[in-house]
């Protein structure tokens, strides 16, 4: 009897606990980052946040929860849609909520594709801010890093700042009026002027420029000095759009640094867009994919599978999926001398069973298909997995540098017109196979540059920015099918040059103000 | 049993077993000093019997008036007691009127007890104890065995569907599945906020284990004696952080002294689908193709297949239950064995459960200590086929089921156009194996020690161990067409346990007109769960079933990490029940709960409650009304409870987790796994429910009509939800955090009417009515009704679409849709999106800004009627359930009822018949046309029974039940009770024939 009561009392005392349980896998930062490899894995996560969607491939354990279909939440997929579907270069057939609104410029602040852009960018910014907070000198000393580990951590920090600057640049470009958040805080972020954001990006890039390895001296997939210069060039070239001030001289300076680098124009244009494009010496910075180890429904998998439908046979492009979505408008086709590609080989269109005109945006066979990207190697073999492409997304490419240089020269940034013509002719000689398409200084006009950019760089995620910089994205001066929700194209309001702040964030953050016009 | 401890407790112990009480005695002695010792001159003995039947009443209480001395009767109703000639003895027994008898010179007093008709003196189970119903101040409803639902009952919650006001038990359409339970409206946005289940006093884990479609089916419904529901916070606050969604207490049967019985109950169940989904017949389908998709006429096949019929069936299920129960003076037992073989109406869908249970209670140490051992075990084999209803109803009816030439597909006809084409549903159910094997063993041991020397003081300790083991196996052979994978297998094991220990100290005593009942306790619970297994695609060999992972190529195997998670709950609680003069009642409770799910500073929460009761019936000024009222009580209660269900573990601290091997990133030649932080709110807390209740219990017509009326107001503060964070403030786009307030207001009426109460003819009616108004008051830090809210309620027909919204000012489950425009004839407009919906903001475009809230899926009104009639040897029982004021979104119609669907994706698809009325060319998923009023009346069960034999030693009853008749409803789909009707499990009606024998 006594024993029984003692047991009960003992049980009472023994079972009192401080209720502090920890997971048996996963750690808090102060424990995880004692291993420098975990810092590298966190860096990899931030890189991957531009193309992948979660902690499982191709989908699963998503990073973003507010869009139901995880496949939509790949940043590069959403970015591509924002840059291309809103222009003359691409249309999409699907009818997912809000996607047709990109074709027709009728998006609202609830549009889920706009949400992906916005939340992805701020997620990358938050990851980066957290990374920098977890790797301060004090903490690195606490983790007990040796000299070598300390140096590694510093290199990682510079790359994280590069990735954060890129997120800010995109946010500036897409949403313009955004908060500047550089540390994780529970306080509501407050919007600041575009000039402040611009200056922040500029100063960050200057600060890390000398910290990153020389061109091609970092591991493949990671940023180097050339990536910084390219971002500087893009920031400066579009600086007038963002701030009203011109930065063309600075653009030329950055571009010349790249031109002095080890990059060369490949003889084979399509090497930049196929399964083994990591071997291209023309690519400056890519988002790597791998059919087995880096799977997602974003990136090149989306661009390859999404562009196949109608009479196209998926296996001809090294894939198994025909998602029947993406085509182009006649405006792009007609920029080429010939739709077959016989003259300008950059014209890669599939026309069998496809019409040039688009009466119904939701019908895949209306509008030419564009199999520019494939999951085939140079030998014609499919990539490692016919469901998910090996093809890396070419974010920065040397041909773009050439065209930007020529444009910056024309816009008064200095440099040499003769060099600009030579650079452009290098691209056109590759396209024509000979010098029959070459231009002279007299041909070098801004209008020519805009069209040449379309011919060289179509479907690479530049078009919206280009049309805005050339002042023809909005308004009625330049029309294309379904611009402004009109089959022949119609004028659209200037406020559409930037996207609305998602309504969900306006609800969550009471400090935010919606962009004008929305 | 003939103890006389009050008088002998300080004498030297006579029996060996009492020797070890020494240490208690020293305490007793001190306490006894406070009591007057009296002279005990005479020994009085006698027998207590029922005045009607003459049967002895064991366990009757005999007290000497004005003292705490007394005894109880033994098995034969006999007692012996030392008493003074001047003493007055008070004889009492629950359900009988008290009698006071002066001892005088008598040495033998035999008493015949009169049944007390007016006394509702039933004992009801409450949290960590029991209470006389008349003293209850909280909102507590009990359903006893005789009022349970009849029919095929797979798990115990189905016993009370429709029986209690405010308690909405939705049985669903599979008979084996778990039923959803909502008590007094939805108090949480969290889908897992289900009531706490307590089995014989032990709170259990309601989550079950993987592969089992019903967590509660380890409890044999035939073992249940009564189900008690605690509805308001003054009753549930004793369960603190687990009480917010209400508490359901199951009490299992125990033996009755002198009655050793064997009971067999067996039944056969024929199930049949009485109504099928409305899709075009083969002939109409051919016509529709010719008319609306003429370019596809050449694609029509030659066959005539009713795909829905091909995947469904009529079934025969069976249920056998054998139980032994009885009691002797020292041991009270129930042993039961149950086997249920439930065949569902989708072919191959089957649920078999074998349940073994035992409840054994014994009294030792001179009856000071009661030990109860309770074990409930279940083996479940659950074979569930993928839900092929959606595929079947829309599969081209001109295609055959079998195609002898398609050897690669196992001889089944398959489309072979694109990878997204539907898979032949017959092939899917015949070739896919999906089996869940579950073992659950719940064991509890309980000690109740009445502390000798301190009358009314009881120390209780209960320990339980609830073991759950689930194994899930899925296999697809090569011959099942799937363009994305060639063979598939999955095998996962889930091991889990819940261990619980709680001890309580209870002191229950009357001091003249003051009755007090004090309770203090401590509880500790630990829940552990671990899942391991593998899953793989593109097998090298499909002959080995799901058992051999070596047939999965290395690159295509997904190994589930062993993910062990543990959480703990530690609590201190107490309760005061005080009653003055049987008139004024007071209950105070408090519970301090600590949980590992929260961070420092937030781990502990305190949940108090207070309630007052006033038994007007006892008041003198009320006595003149006693001709009308036989009972009348007013109750007022207030309390706070919490809710922590559905909160993941460790989400109060930022942990970093590594990705799977399939999500790595290329750095040079290496692929680096990704380390990601989880977005958390370090300040996360319990949802806190504050509820107020005012109620009245009454009984009129000499107890023939009794009932209760309650009004309540429940506010859930600190609602937990996974909400969008302000961008840039956290390492995720959403975080589980406390964001809002939700309110439920309601009124409940429950009535019991004994219409006829004759020896050969009786008729009882039970009616209840509930109105509950739910409203989201604050969401995402906003109380602005114009803020857009959070879209929820995913639908099929397209990727990423939703039809409901959580929005300030609106109830939970509000629909969000476009307003469809109609022509003069009342037909919905067809054509381009921009011309058929109302352009609310007038901008010429139809987009998200034109969506409007439109009705609510959860019916605010529900009302139920049960009737039990006994006439001679016959009995008839029925339960009717009705709900009003709600809508159902007909997703089956919206996803399939448009002509473009006929030839979508270059194959032919059958369409929903609604297209004949609408003529829609394109799908109109967000049209309010599909949001239909779904008021309904359902006959849940109707039973006719016949008692063949009424001999005492052998009772035989035959019965037949019709369960789940077709609902009466204006809703066009199959089941008006679902929120979003998307190819739901086909409702079926059961015809049951059974026999019940007892000897």
Confidence (pLDDT) at A6: 56
Does the structure show a pLDDT above 50 at B3? no
Phi-psi region of B411 (alpha: psi -120 to 50; beta: other; left: phi over 0): left
CA distance B656 to A296: 21
Tell whether B672 lies on the interface with A, counting CB pairs under 8 A. yes
What single DSSP character describes residue B593? Answer: E
- Residues A283, A288, A290: CA angle, nearest 5 degrees: 130
Q: Which residue, B803, B815, B804, B810, is CA-closest to B787?
A: B810
Query: Do the Cβ atoms of A68 and B802 come closer than 8 Å?
Result: yes
Please tell me which residue of chain A has the smallest CA distance to B655: A28
For chain A, say whether B568 makes contact (Cβ under 8 Å).
yes
- The rounded distance, in Å, linking the Cα atoms of A168 and A200 is 9
> Where does the pLDDT of residue A432 fall: very low under 50, low under 70, confident under 90, or very high at 90 and above?
very high
Torsion angles phi and psi, residue B339, rounded to 5 = -135, 130
Cα–Cα distance, B709 to B165 (Å, whole number): 9
Least confident of A494-508, B341-355, B946-960: B946-960
Give yes or no for A418 touching B (CB within 8 A). Answer: no
Alpha carbon distance B181, B170 (integer Å): 6
C-alpha angle B688-B692-B693 in degrees, rounded to nearest 5: 140
Q: Which of B598, B687, B498 is nearest to A21 (CA)?
A: B598
Other C-beta atoms within 10 Å of A144: how many?
8
Burial class from Cβ neighbours inside 10 Å (0-12, 13-18, 19+) for residue B16 reads: exposed
Consecutive H or E run containing B50: strand B42-50
Name the least confident of A247-251, B207-211, B336-340, B831-835: B207-211
Confidence bin at B211 (pLDDT 50/70/90): low
Residue A486 CA to residue B313 CA, distance in Å, equals 53
Three-class SS state of A90: coil
Question: Quick one: pLDDT at residue B5?
Answer: 35
Question: Does A313 reach chain B within 8 Å, measured CB to CB?
Answer: no
Minimal CA–CA distance to B478: which of B420, B544, B522, B529? B544
Residue B208: what pLDDT?
Answer: 65
Identify whether the C-beta of residue B609 lies closer than 8 Å to the C-beta of residue B234. Answer: yes
* pLDDT for residue A486: 93
Identify the weakest region by mean pLDDT among B22-31, B40-49, B418-427, B836-845: B22-31
Does the beta-carbon distance from B653 to A485 stay under 8 Å? no
Q: Does A219 touch chain B (CB under 8 A)?
A: yes
User: Between these two residues, B728 and B10, which has the higher pLDDT value?
Assistant: B728
Confidence grade of residue B788 (pLDDT, cut at 50, 70, 90): confident
Q: Are strands B936-951 and B874-884 parallel, antiparallel or unpaired?
A: antiparallel
Torsion of CA A145, A147, A148, A151, to 10 degrees: 90
Candidates B607, B517, B528; CA nearest to B571 is B607
How confident is the prediction for chain A on average, in pLDDT?
A: 93
In A186-215, the residues whose Cβ lies within 8 Å of chain B are 186-189
| pLDDT (average), residues A268-277 | 96
Q: What band does B37 get if pLDDT is binned at 50, 70 and 90? A: very low
Task: Name the pLDDT band for B539 (thresholds 50, 70, 90).
Answer: confident
Min Cα–Cα distance to chain A from B891, Å: 16
Examine the pLDDT at B369 and tell me if it is beyond 70.
Answer: yes
Element (H, E) at B882: strand B874-884
Please report residues of A whose CB lies closer than 8 A to that of B503.
8, 11-12
Query: Minimal Cα distance from A509: which residue of B?
Result: B726
Q: For chain B, positions 431-490, list CB contacts with chain A under 8 A.
A: 447, 449, 459, 461, 463, 483-484
Q: How far is A173 from chain B (nearest CA, A)?
A: 17
Bin B512: left if φ > 0, else alpha if -120 < ψ < 50, else beta.
Answer: left
Question: Which residue of B505, B570, B572, B729 is the best one to mutate when testing the A interface, meaning the one whose CB has the most A CBs within 10 A?
Answer: B729
Which residues in chain B touch residue A185, judged by CB atoms under 8 angstroms apart?
A: 729
Q: What is the 3-state secondary structure (H, E, C) of A429-446?
A: HHHHCCHHHCCCHHHCCH
Q: How confident is the model at residue A416 (pLDDT cuts 50, 70, 90)?
A: very high
Min distance B573 CA to chain A CA atoms (Å): 14
Q: Given this model, what pLDDT does residue B121 score?
A: 58
Lowest mean pLDDT among A501-515, B167-181, B701-715: B167-181
Condensed to tens digits (0 to 9), the pLDDT of residues A150-200 reads: 999 999 999 999 999 999 999 999 999 999 999 988 889 999 999 999 999
Secondary structure element (H or E) that encloses residue A178, with its range: none
> Rounded mean pLDDT of chain B?
87
B189 — alpha (psi -120 to 50), left (phi > 0) or beta? Answer: alpha
A457 vs B41, residue with greater confidence: A457
From the candidates B558, B594, B675, B847, which should be mutated to test the interface with A, based on the most A CB atoms within 10 A?
A: B675
User: How far, in Å, CA of B195 to CA of A88, rounded?
Assistant: 57
Chain A residues touching residue B677 (CB < 8 angstroms):
29, 42, 127, 130
Cβ B727–A509 below 8 Å, yes or no? yes
Average pLDDT of span A103-119: 92
Cα dihedral value B889, B894, B896, B898, nearest 10: 160
Q: Which among B654, B660, B672 is the nearest to A56, CB-wise? A: B660
Element (H, E) at B744: strand B734-757
Q: Is residue B331 scored above 70 in pLDDT? A: yes
pLDDT at B296 over 90: no
Cα separation of B357 and B377, whole Å? Answer: 6
In the stretch 714-733 of chain B, residues with CB closer than 8 A to chain A read 722-733
Per-residue pLDDT, B8: 35
Q: Which positions ≥6 away from A380 have C-beta within 8 Å?
A: none
Nearest to A260 by CA among A116, A103, A405, A145: A405
Q: What is the pLDDT of residue B2?
A: 39
pTM of the model: 0.81
Across the interface, whether the CB atoms of B849 and A58 are under 8 A apart is answered: no
Q: Are strands B247-252 and B196-199 parallel, antiparallel or unpaired?
A: parallel
Rounded alpha-carbon distances, angstroms, from residue B711 to B126, B560, B708, B771: 21, 49, 10, 10
pLDDT digits (tens, 9 = 90+) for B62-119: 888 877 778 888 878 888 888 888 888 888 876 677 888 888 888 888 888 877 654 4
What H or E segment, with its residue span, contains residue B412?
A: none
Cβ contacts of B674 on chain A, cutoff 8 Å: 41, 44-45, 48, 52, 55
Which residue in chain B is spatially nearest to A15 when comparing CA positions?
A: B524
Q: How far apart are CA B534 and CA B474, in angstroms?
A: 11
Nearest to A169 by CA among A189, A199, A190: A199
**Separation in Å, CA of A26 to nearest CA in chain B:** 5
CB contact under 8 A, B665 and A108: no
What 8-state DSSP symbol labels residue B545? T
Confirm or reject contact between B528 and chain A (CB < 8 A): no
Burial B677-713 (b: 16+ CB within 10 A, else e): bbbbbeebbbbbbbbbbbbebbbbeebbbbbbbbebe
Candidate from B501, B596, B665 with C-beta closest to A47: B665
Q: Which two tokens mark B618?
A: 């006892």
- Give the residue among A390, A378, A396, A402 at the shortest CA–CA distance from A460: A396
Residues of chain A found within 8 Å of residue B564, distances taken between Cβ atoms: 24
Contacts of B729 in chain A (CB under 8 A): 126, 181, 184-189, 509
Distance from CA of B668 to the nearest CA of A (A): 4
- With CB atoms and an 8 Å threshold, state whether A110 touches B849: yes
Q: Are B946 and B894 in contact (CB under 8 A)?
A: no
Element (H, E) at A195: helix A194-209
**Would you place residue B18 in the very low, low, confident or very high pLDDT band (cuts 50, 70, 90)?**
very low
For chain A, percent of residues with pLDDT exceeding 90: 82
Is pLDDT above 50 for B550? yes
Task: Provide the 3-class DSSP secondary structure of residue B919.
Answer: coil
- pLDDT of residue A262 exceeding 90: yes
User: For B557, which residue in chain A has the nearest alpha carbon?
Assistant: A292
Residue A19 reports pLDDT greater than 80: no
This model of the complex carries an ipTM of: 0.94
C-alpha span between A343 and B325 (Å, rounded): 95
pLDDT of A9 > 70? The answer is no
* Tally of CB atoms within 10 A around B37: 9
Shortest CA distance to A461 belongs to which of A51, A108, A104, A46? Answer: A51
Least confident of A384-393, B415-424, B908-917: B415-424
Question: What integer pLDDT is reported at residue A24 of this predicted model?
Answer: 67
Per-residue model confidence (pLDDT) at position A425: 97
Look at residue B19 and tell me whether its pLDDT is greater than 70. no
Tens-place pLDDT, residues B184-196: 999 888 767 789 9
A40, B799: Cβ pair inside 8 Å?
Answer: no
Give percent of chain A above pLDDT 70.
96
Nearest 5°: phi and psi at A37?
-60, -30
Output the pLDDT for position A10: 55
Higher pLDDT, B558 or B304: B304
What is the spatial distance between Cα A463 and Cα A453, in angstroms, rounded to a whole number? 8
Q: Is B780 part of the contact surface with chain A (CB cutoff 8 Å)?
A: yes
Q: Is B717 helix (H, G, I), strand (E, B) or coil?
A: strand
Nearest CB to A185; choose among B729, B782, B788: B729
**Integer-rounded Cα radius of gyration of chain A:** 25
End-to-end CA distance of chain A: 78
Of the candidate ranges B32-41, B420-429, B555-564, the one whose mean pLDDT is the lowest: B32-41
Nearest CA to CA, how far is A93 from chain B (Å)? Answer: 12
Please give, rounded to a whole number of angstroms, the shortest distance from the CA of A344 to a CA of chain B.
Answer: 34
Q: Please name which of B216, B265, B312 lies closest in space to residue B961, comparing C-alpha atoms.
A: B265
Which 102-141 residues of chain A touch chain B by CB within 8 A?
106-108, 110-112, 118-119, 122-123, 125-127, 130
Provide the pLDDT confidence category of residue A485 given band limits of 50, 70 and 90.
very high
The rounded distance, in Å, linking the Cα atoms of A487 and A25 is 56
- Look at residue B792 and tell me whether its pLDDT is greater than 80: yes
> Bridge-partner residues for B749, per DSSP?
B709, B769
Cβ neighbours of B522 in A, within 8 Å: 12
Counting Cβ atoms within 10 Å, is residue B165 exposed (0-12), middle (13-18) or buried (19+)? buried
Q: Report angle CA A350, A356, A357 to the nearest 5 degrees.
A: 145
DSSP symbol at B257? B
Cα torsion for B182, B188, B190, B191, to the nearest 10°?
Answer: 10
Task: Give the per-residue pLDDT at B997.
Answer: 93
Which chain A residues are Cβ-neighbours of B524 within 8 angstroms?
15-17
Q: Does A24 touch chain B (CB under 8 A)?
A: yes
Q: How many interchain CB pairs under 8 A, A with B? A: 271
Question: Strands B954-963 and B989-998, how do they pair?
Answer: antiparallel
Buried b (16+ CB within 10 A) or exposed e, B553-563: eeebbbebeee
Answer whether B659 sits within 8 Å of A185, measured CB to CB: no
**pLDDT > 70 fraction of chain B, expressed in percent and rounded:** 93
Report the chain A residue with the minimal C-alpha distance to residue B558: A56
pLDDT at residue B842, rounded to an integer: 87
User: Half-sphere exposure (CA, 13 Å, Cβ side) for B826?
Assistant: 1
Q: In the prediction, which pLDDT does A85 show? A: 97
Residue B22 has pLDDT above 60, yes or no: no
Write the CB contacts of B952 (distance below 8 Å, at least 6 apart in sequence).
none
**Minimal Cα distance from B459: which residue of A?**
A5
Q: What is the mean pLDDT of residues B486-500?
A: 91
Please give the average per-residue pLDDT across B383-412, as a whole number: 91
From A22, A41, A57, residue closest to B672, measured CB to CB: A41
Crossing angle for the helix pair A398-410 and A248-259, to the nearest 10 degrees: 140
Please report which confidence band the pLDDT of residue B7 belongs to, taking 50, 70 and 90 as the band edges: very low
A45 has a chain B CB within 8 A of its CB: yes
Judging contacts by C-beta atoms under 8 Å, the chain B residues touching residue A55 are 657-660, 663, 674, 676
Q: Answer whether the bond into residue B872 is a cis peptide, omega within 30°.
A: no
Out of A274-288, B519-533, B682-696, give the one with best mean pLDDT: A274-288
Check CB contact under 8 Å for B727 and A42: no
């Amino acid at each position: 009897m006594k024993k029984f009561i003692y047991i009960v009392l003992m049980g009472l005392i023994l079972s009192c606990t401080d209720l502090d349980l920890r997971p048996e896998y996963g750690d808090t930062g102060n424990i995880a980052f004692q291993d420098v490899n975990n810092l590298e894995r966190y860096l990899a996560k931030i890189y991957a946040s531009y193309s992948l969607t979660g902690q499982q491939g191709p989908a699963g354990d998503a990073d973003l929860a507010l869009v139901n279909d995880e496949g939509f939440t790949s940043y590069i997929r959403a970015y591509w849609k924002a840059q291309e579907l809103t222009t003359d270069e691409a249309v999409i057939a699907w009818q997912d909520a809000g996607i047709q609104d990109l074709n027709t410029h009728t998006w609202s602040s609830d549009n889920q594709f706009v949400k992906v852009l916005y939340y992805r960018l701020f997620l990358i910014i938050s990851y980066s801010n957290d990374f920098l907070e977890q790797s301060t000198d004090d903490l690195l000393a606490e983790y007990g890093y040796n000299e070598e580990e300390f140096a590694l951590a510093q290199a990682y920090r510079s790359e994280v700042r590069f990735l954060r600057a890129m997120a800010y640049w995109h946010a500036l470009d897409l949403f313009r009026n955004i908060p500047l958040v550089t540390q994780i805080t529970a306080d509501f972020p407050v919007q600041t002027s575009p000039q402040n954001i611009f200056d922040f990006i500029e100063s960050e890039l200057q600060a890390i420029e000398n910290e990153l390895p020389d061109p091609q001296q970092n591991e493949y997939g990671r940023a180097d000095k050339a990536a910084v210069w390219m971002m500087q060039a893009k920031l400066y070239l579009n600086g007038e759009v963002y701030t009203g001030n011109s930065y063309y001289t600075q653009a030329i300076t950055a571009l010349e640094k790249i031109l002095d680098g080890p990059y060369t124009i490949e003889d084979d244009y399509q090497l930049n867009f196929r399964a083994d494009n990591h071997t291209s010496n023309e690519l400056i910075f890519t988002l790597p994919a791998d059919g087995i180890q880096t799977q997602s429904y974003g990136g090149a998998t989306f661009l390859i599978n999404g562009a196949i439908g109608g009479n196209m046979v998926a296996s001809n492009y090294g894939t198994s999926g025909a998602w029947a979505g993406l085509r182009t408008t006649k405006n792009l086709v007609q920029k080429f001398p010939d739709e077959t590609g016989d003259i300008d080989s950059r014209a890669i269109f599939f026309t069998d069973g496809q019409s040039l005109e688009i009466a119904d945006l939701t019908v895949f066979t209306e509008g030419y298909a564009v199999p520019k990207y494939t999951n085939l190697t140079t030998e014609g073999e499919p990539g490692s997995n016919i469901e998910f492409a090996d093809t890396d997304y070419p974010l920065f490419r040397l041909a773009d540098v050439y065209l930007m240089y020529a444009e910056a020269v024309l816009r008064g940034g200095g440099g040499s017109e003769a060099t600009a013509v030579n650079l452009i002719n290098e691209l056109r000689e590759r396209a024509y196979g000979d010098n029959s398409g070459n231009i002279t200084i007299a041909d070098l006009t801004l209008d020519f540059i805009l069209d040449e950019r379309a011919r060289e760089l179509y479907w690479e995620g530049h078009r919206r920015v280009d049309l805005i910089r050339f002042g023809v994205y909005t308004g009625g001066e330049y029309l294309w099918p379904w611009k402004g929700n009109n089959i022949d194209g119609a004028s659209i309001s200037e406020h559409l040059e930037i996207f609305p702040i998602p309504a969900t964030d306006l609800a969550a953050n009471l400090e935010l103000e919606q962009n004008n016009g929305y | 049993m003939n103890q006389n401890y009050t008088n002998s407790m300080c004498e030297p112990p006579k029996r060996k077993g009492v020797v070890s009480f020494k240490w208690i005695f020293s305490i007793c002695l001190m306490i006894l000093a406070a009591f007057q010792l009296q002279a005990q001159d005479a020994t009085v003995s006698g027998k207590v019997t029922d005045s009607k039947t003459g049967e002895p009443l064991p366990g009757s209480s005999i007290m000497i008036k004005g003292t705490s001395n007394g005894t109880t009767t033994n098995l034969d109703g006999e007692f012996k007691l030392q008493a003074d000639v001047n003493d007055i003895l008070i004889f009492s027994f629950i359900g009988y009127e008290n009698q006071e008898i002066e001892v005088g010179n008598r040495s033998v007093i035999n008493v015949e007890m009169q049944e007390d008709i007016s006394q509702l003196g039933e004992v009801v189970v409450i949290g960590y104890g029991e209470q006389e119903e008349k003293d209850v101040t909280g909102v507590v409803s009990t359903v006893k065995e005789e009022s349970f639902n009849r029919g095929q009952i797979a798990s115990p919650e189905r016993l009370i569907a429709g029986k209690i006001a405010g308690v909405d038990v939705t049985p669903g359409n599979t008979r084996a599945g778990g039923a959803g339970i909502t008590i007094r409206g939805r108090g949480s946005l969290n889908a897992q906020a289900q009531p706490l289940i307590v089995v014989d006093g032990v709170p259990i884990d309601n989550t079950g284990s993987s592969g089992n479609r019903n967590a509660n089916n380890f409890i044999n419904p035939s073992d249940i004696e009564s189900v008690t529901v605690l509805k308001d916070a003054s009753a549930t606050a004793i369960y603190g952080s687990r009480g917010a969604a209400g508490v359901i207490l199951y009490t299992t049967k125990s033996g009755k002294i002198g009655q050793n019985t064997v009971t067999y109950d067996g039944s056969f169940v024929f199930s049949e689908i009485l109504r099928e989904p409305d899709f075009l017949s083969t002939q109409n389908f051919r016509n529709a193709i010719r008319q609306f998709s003429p370019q596809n006429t050449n694609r029509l096949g030659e066959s005539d297949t009713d795909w829905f019929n091909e995947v469904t069936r009529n079934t025969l299920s069976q249920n056998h239950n054998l139980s032994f129960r009885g009691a002797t003076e020292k041991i009270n037992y129930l042993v039961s064995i149950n086997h249920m073989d439930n065949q569902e109406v989708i072919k191959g869908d089957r649920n078999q459960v074998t349940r073994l249970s035992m409840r054994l209670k014994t009294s030792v140490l001179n009856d000071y200590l009661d030990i109860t051992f309770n074990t409930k075990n279940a083996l479940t084999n659950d074979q569930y086929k993928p839900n092929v209803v959606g595929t079947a109803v829309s599969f081209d009816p001109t295609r055959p089921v079998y195609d002898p030439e398609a050897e690669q597909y196992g001889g089944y006809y398959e489309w072979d156009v694109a990878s997204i084409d539907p898979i032949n549903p017959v092939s899917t159910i015949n070739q896919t194996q999906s089996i869940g094997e579950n073992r659950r063993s719940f064991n509890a041991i309980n000690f109740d020690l009445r502390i000798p020397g301190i009358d009314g003081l009881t120390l209780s300790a209960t320990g339980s161990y609830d073991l759950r083991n689930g194994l899930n196996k899925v296999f697809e052979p090569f011959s099942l067409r799937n363009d994305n994978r060639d063979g598939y297998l999955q095998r996962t094991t889930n091991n889990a346990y819940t261990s619980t220990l709680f001890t309580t100290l209870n002191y229950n005593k009357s001091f003249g007109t003051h009755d007090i009942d004090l309770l203090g306790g401590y509880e500790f619970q630990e829940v552990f769960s671990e899942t391991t297994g593998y899953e793989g695609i593109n097998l090298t060999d499909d002959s080995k079933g799901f058992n051999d992972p070596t047939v999965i190529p290395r690159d295509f195997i997904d190994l589930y990490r062993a993910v062990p998670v543990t959480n703990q709950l530690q609590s201190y609680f107490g309760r005061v029940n005080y009653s003055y003069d049987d008139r004024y009642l007071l209950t105070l409770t408090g519970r301090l709960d600590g949980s590992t799910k929260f961070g420092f500073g937030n781990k502990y929460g305190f949940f108090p409650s207070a309630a007052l009761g006033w038994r007007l019936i006892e008041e003198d000024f009320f006595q003149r009304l006693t001709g009308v009222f036989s009972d009348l009580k007013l109750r007022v209660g207030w309390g706070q409870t919490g809710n922590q269900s559905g909160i993941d573990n460790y989400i109060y601290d930022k942990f970093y987790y590594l990705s799977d091997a399939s999500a790595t990133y290329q750095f040079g030649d290496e692929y680096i796994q990704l380390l990601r932080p989880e977005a958390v709110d370090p300040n996360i807390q319990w949802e806190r429910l504050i509820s107020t209740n005012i109620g009245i219990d009454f009984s009129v017509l000499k107890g023939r009509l009794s009932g209760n009326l309650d009004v309540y107001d429940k506010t859930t503060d600190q609602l937990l939800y996974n909400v969008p964070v302000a961008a840039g403030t956290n390492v995720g786009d959403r975080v589980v955090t406390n964001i809002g307030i939700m309110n439920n207001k309601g009124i409940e009426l429950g009535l019991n009417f004994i219409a006829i109460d004759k020896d050969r003819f009786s008729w009882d009616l039970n009616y209840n009515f509930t109105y509950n108004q739910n409203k989201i008051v604050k969401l995402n830090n906003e109380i602005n009704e114009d803020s857009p809210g959070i879209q929820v309620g995913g639908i099929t027909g397209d990727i990423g679409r939703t039809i409901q919204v959580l929005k300030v000012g609106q109830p939970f489950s509000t629909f969000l849709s476009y307003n469809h425009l109609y022509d003069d004839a009342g037909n919905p407009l067809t054509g381009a999106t921009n011309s058929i919906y109302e352009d609310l903001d007038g901008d010429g475009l139809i987009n998200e800004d034109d969506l409007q809230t439109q009705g609510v899926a959860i019916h605010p009104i529900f009302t139920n009627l049960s009737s039990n009639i006994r006439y001679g040897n016959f009995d008839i029982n029925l339960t009717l359930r009705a709900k009003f004021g709600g809508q159902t979104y007909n997703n089956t119609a919206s996803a399939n009822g448009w002509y473009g669907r006929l030839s979508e994706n270059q194959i032919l698809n059958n369409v929903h018949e609604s297209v004949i009325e609408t003529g829609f060319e394109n799908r109109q998923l967000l049209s309010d046309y599909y949001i239909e009023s779904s008021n309904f009346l359902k006959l849940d069960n109707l039973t006719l029974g016949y008692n063949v034999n009424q001999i005492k030693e052998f009772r035989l009853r035959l019965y037949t039940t019709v369960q789940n008749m077709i609902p009466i409803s204006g809703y066009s789909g199959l089941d008006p009770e679902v929120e979003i009707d998307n190819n739901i499990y086909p409702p079926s009606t059961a015809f049951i024939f059974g026999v019940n024998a007892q000897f």
